[in-house]
Amino acid sequence: MEQQLSDIEPRKVFEFFSVLNRIPRGSGNEKAVSDYLVEFASQRGLLAYQDDYNNVTIVKYATAGMEDKDTIILQAHLDMVCVADDGCRKDFTKDPIDAYIDGDYVKARGTSLGADDGIGIAMILAVLDSTDIEHPMIEAVFTAHEESGLAGASVYDVSHLTGKRFINLDSEEENHIVTGCAGGSICDVSLKCKNQKIEGNIYEISIGNLTGGHSGSEIGNGSANANVLMGLLLDQLRNSVEINLGTVQGGTKHNSICESASATVVVRKKHSKALEKCVKAFAESARDEYQKTDPDLTVKCKDKGKGKLEVMSTKDMTKFIALLNLLPNGVFKMSQTAPMVETSSNIAIVAARPKSFNICVSLRSNKEASLGWITSIIRSLSEAYNVQFNCHDTYPAWECDKVSDYARSAQRLYSDMFGRDIGIISIHAGLECGLFAQKIKDLDAISIGPDIHGAHTPAERLSISSTQREWKYLLELLKL
């Protein structure tokens, strides 16, 4: 009989995590989980606020003897990145996450798990549900749309919060306390195209089985981006066999490295063999280049036979392919103060049709100035190619110049509890701490969390033993 999540210690944490797995909560679809939290608070006689954006705040008063301690804000986000393996028919708007236990890990069958940030929510709920955990007054903040540009935190009204100590439970590495993170924005490069119909041999080209990963924490791993590879392949084809382009589709989430992409092209019959040869040579080269990071990489070319295909004009196709090859992707700049990526770009989502194309580029930087720099590069490229540019969902970097006494105390506490040192770092991923630090004067914030591997991919897995330690650690942090 398969072990159930509710059988794992700490039971309350994993019970709540199991409940969350049954509630659809992809970005933009948080109403049900938001309502669940309000009902949770009501059943326990706790004060709760729910705003028009589905952000929820729950207040729990201090336990006996802890009334004089500083109020602590516990914070996690409601939404998850919903991605599935090729062929998985999961409907994230209504189907539950099928979680299971594999040794020390909780995984999901065919999809992302949602431990980012479901396990953070579950820990906070376990504290709020308890009758025997010592804690000061707690203001629990649950935000919506975090995975979509931190939109919920951007509009969150902090006027009813009184706490100055802030614990974000959205980190993915136990051996770090985070006190800084990247800011980011999303840039769309688009064009309305002229179209035509071309007769010839139609081919469907696909690139797949890439490793993918979180576009912040894993952008420096050197793994392949399917959109970038497709751009390279189309450029080679354009220069050797005179193709016409029908469609291109790659990626679904702005914060994930694209794992697969497909395209339809048409060529004259006399160029068919040359196209197939070019694709084969490209596949061999790509597999050789990415043999370590993407060992399962596939490039397929399917002959759909003779027919007419609606395509974009040659002029617009040239612009599209050029931009796909020129827009920055990957590590843009390394930090001058730490061994980490400072500024990066991810060609996340590409959608091209005969009448239009859009290239979505997700930007991150731990320095506001560098974020502006890379944004200006994309704007300049758009202007040079006379296409539309739109920058949106911008959120600030959390720049921490000095480590606080609270962070140092939290560091010592972990070392005393588990007999090993942990670092205080900044990360190249987005956290909502930066937004709350802008809104709440003198906020003293840290971010912690258990080990989560492969976030934003179907390979996402949560360490059970790490969760157990972080739970014990959180309970002691509440007493600091």
Is 56 strand, coil or helix?
A: strand
Geometric angle at alpha carbon 71, from 67 and 76, rounded to 5°:
135
DSSP letter assigned to residue 258: -
Is 383 strand, coil or helix?
A: helix
Torsion of CA 226, 232, 234, 236, to 10 degrees: -150
Among 245, 248, 250, CA closest to 261: 250
Check 15, 117, 146, 451 and give the catalytic one.
146
CA–CA distance, 56 with 140 (Å, rounded to integer) = 8
Q: Catalytic annotation on 276?
A: no
Alpha helix (H) ranges present in 6-113?
A: 11-21, 31-43
Instruction: Say if CB 21 and CB 118 are below 8 A apart.
Output: yes
Check 30, 79, 451, 470 and give the catalytic one.
79
Residue-wise burial string across 236-271, b where 16 or more C-beta atoms lie within 10 A, e elsewhere: bbbeebebbbbbbbbbebbbbbbbbbbbbbbbbeeb
Pairing of strands 298-312, 195-208: antiparallel
Q: Catalytic annotation on 204?
A: no
CA–CA distance, 100 with 23 (Å, rounded to integer) = 16
Pairing of strands 72-77, 138-143: parallel
Q: Please list the active-site residues.
A: 79, 146
